[in-house]
Amino acid sequence: MLAVGAALTVSELLAAVFDVPESPLLAVAQHAVDLTPAPLIKPIIDLVGTADKPLAVAVTVVVLLALGAVAGRAWIERRQVSLTLVGGFTALGTLAVLTRPEPSAAAVVATVAGAAAALAVLHLLQDRLAEDAPDGTRRSFLVGAAVVLVGIVASGVGGQLLAERRRRRAELERARASLDLPLEPTSTPAGADLGIDGQRPWTTPNRDFYRIDTALSPPLLDASEWSLRIHGLVDREITVTYDDLVARGLTEAWVTLCCVSNEVGGDLIGNANWSGVPMADLLAEAGVQDGADCLLSTSVDGWTCGTPLEAVTDGRNALLAVGMNGEPLPVRHGFPVRQVIPGLYGYVSATKWVVDWEVTRFAEVEAYWTQRGWGERGPIKTQSRIDLPAPNSTVRAGQQVIAGVAWHQHTGISAVEVRVDEGDWVGATIGEVDTVDTWVQWSVPWDATPGRHTIEVRATDADGRVQTQERADVLPDGATGWHSVDVAAQA
Ligand SMILES: Nc1nc2c(c(=O)[nH]1)N[C@H]1C(S)=C(S)[C@@H](COP(=O)(O)O)O[C@H]1N2
Ligand SMILES: [Mo]
């Protein structure tokens, strides 16, 4: 019976992990219902009403437990019988999951893994009872049985929690989809995207937007449950609900978000159109007191972020965002509400699932990553990246294009230059953007001669500062250095 218990919990757990539409146990129970003769069904339904599903599952489990008892008794002296029973039921289970309306390979894997768990338990426990085994005693059997039981309970609970979380996630996705937000589909500003074949788009689609956070799986927080408490060095504490927030009217801004862990040439960066409410408006309403220099924001899962207050209140598009590229914020990007502040790396600015603001002083608090050795303020550094040709690729000799992106959010980029094999720097064409808060696309034509080449890029920001060549590691406050790419050109 323990073997059957193990088989069921392992298969249910795997079904939950793989997110199969119907677990093997449910599939078998459903078949049992379908195979029950009609004259029997009616009185049963009259008797148990809507509890027929749980009843079918319970009966299936009891039958399986009984068969498990038979297989268990037979294990030592008539192992063939045992193996036949287990094999037969694995085959039946497999058939059951394959003949349901939504069959899946994962459900078969879950079934077979369950059978393997049953065999493992039979082997582990019965051999402990065998008279010729060295430790074949009742005590050793009981210890083994207890271990198996704990395993069954643990994986049973784990499977249920997982299934519960999936249901909650699906519910949240439905609520998110039916939110009535004044969001318009966004389109990339004319001229921003150079439209070069193979170049990643100027606007990063939500599904391709990098995701960085400390959450094992994203917090599930409904808009109706959300509120933001603003406290600390303020004249009056306020609490804002989602409806309050949206009722203020939404501002839109293009902002490129970048992670401090982005290596030179890395792709932990994305550009989106964000819709939200200026963070400064909410702070003004609470009334920031003299001496405060830090906004400590906390997410619903306890992650903290320290932002220079100046960056929030100096007039830039620092938003409490509810929309991303024309749709409600995706769950993994902070639904229902997150911060977006141009000019700062994400870890000091972009709190997702944000629920608490404390207006304070840097001298008094330390945020999550600062406690772990990362810089306190985290301003963005000028960077540029070559996307085409791809690193270590081979291109056809002749007319080619070198293209990429460059960024220094909230300062802007004024020039991008490229050189091949340490030759002269050549100025690149830069995509038109009417904001200093996003990256720019750039490109230069290249007449590639046959052979190996090294391409380098450097950007100049809108203050006229040329991107430094000096290599710095991402720790503690962001990488520097020129991106360079090796390619081969073939005639
Ligand atoms: N709640 C929460 N917000 C967070 C983080 C986090 O770990 N938890 N990580 C930050 C970091 S380091 C970055 S780079 C950005 C990434 O945002 P994205 O996942 O939407 O791209 O989110 C920021 N916001
Ligand atoms: Mo980050």
d(CA 56, CA 31) in angstroms, rounded, equals 9
Look at 19-33, 192-206, 346-360 and tell me which has the smallest mean pLDDT.
19-33
- Quote the ligand 1 centre to 148 CA distance (angstroms): 40
For 315: left if phi > 0, alpha if psi spans -120 to 50, otherwise beta; the answer is left
Beta carbons of 403 and 196 less than 8 angstroms apart: yes
- Residue 201: is its pLDDT beyond 80? yes
Q: Is the CB of 209 under 6 A from ligand 1?
A: yes
Residue 457's pLDDT band, with cuts at 50, 70 and 90, is very high
The residue with greater pLDDT, 226 or 15, is 226
- Quote the ligand 2 centre to 270 CA distance (angstroms): 12
Euclidean distance between the first and final Cα of the chain, in Å?
A: 71
- Residue nearest to ligand 1 atom 13, measured at CA: 346
d(CA 287, CA 359) in angstroms, rounded, equals 10
pLDDT at residue 108, as a whole number? 95
* Shortest-distance ligand to the CA of residue 347: 1
Q: Which residues pair with 305 in a beta bridge?
A: 297
The full set of domain ranges for the chain reads 2-175, 206-372, 383-490
The dihedrals phi and psi of 169, each to the nearest 5 degrees, come to -65, -45
Range 206-372: architecture per CATH: Alpha-Beta Complex (3.90)
Residue 282's pLDDT band, with cuts at 50, 70 and 90, is very high
Beta carbons of 318 and 344 less than 8 angstroms apart: no
Residue 136's pLDDT band, with cuts at 50, 70 and 90, is low
Q: Is the CB of 130 under 6 A from ligand 1?
A: no
Q: Is the CB of 352 under 6 A from ligand 1?
A: yes
d(CA 372, CA 260) in angstroms, rounded, equals 13
- Residue 40: is its pLDDT beyond 90? no
Ligand 1, closest atom to CA 301? Answer: 1
Q: Is the CB of 266 under 6 A from ligand 1?
A: no
* Shortest-distance ligand to the CA of residue 210: 1
> 48-66 pLDDT, tens per residue?
877 778 888 999 999 999 9
Ligand 1, closest atom to CA 259? Answer: 14
- Quote the ligand 1 centre to 215 CA distance (angstroms): 9
Ligand 1, closest atom to CA 258? Answer: 14
Ligand 1, closest atom to CA 214? Answer: 7
- Residue nearest to ligand 1 atom 24, measured at CA: 351
> Burial, 490: exposed, middle or buried (Cβ in 10 Å; 0-12, 13-18, 19+)?
exposed
Q: Is the CB of 56 under 6 A from ligand 1?
A: no
Q: Is the CB of 350 under 6 A from ligand 1?
A: yes
* Shortest-distance ligand to the CA of residue 339: 1
pLDDT at residue 445, as a whole number? 98
pLDDT at residue 435, as a whole number? 98
- Quote the ligand 2 centre to 362 CA distance (angstroms): 20
Q: Is the CB of 404 under 6 A from ligand 1?
A: no
Beta carbons of 247 and 182 less than 8 angstroms apart: no
Q: Is the CB of 259 under 6 A from ligand 1?
A: yes
- Quote the ligand 1 centre to 24 CA distance (angstroms): 38
Q: Is the CB of 75 under 6 A from ligand 1?
A: no
- Quote the ligand 2 centre to 267 CA distance (angstroms): 12
Look at 1-10, 21-30, 197-206 and tell me which has the smallest mean pLDDT.
21-30
Q: Is the CB of 18 under 6 A from ligand 1?
A: no
Residue 484's pLDDT band, with cuts at 50, 70 and 90, is very high
Q: DSSP secondary-structure letter at 184?
A: P
> 166-191 pLDDT, tens per residue?
889 999 999 999 999 999 999 999 99
Q: Is the CB of 214 under 6 A from ligand 1?
A: yes
- Quote the ligand 1 centre to 344 CA distance (angstroms): 12
pLDDT at residue 146, as a whole number? 93
Ligand 1, closest atom to CA 219? Answer: 1
Give CATH for domain 383-490.
2.60.40.650
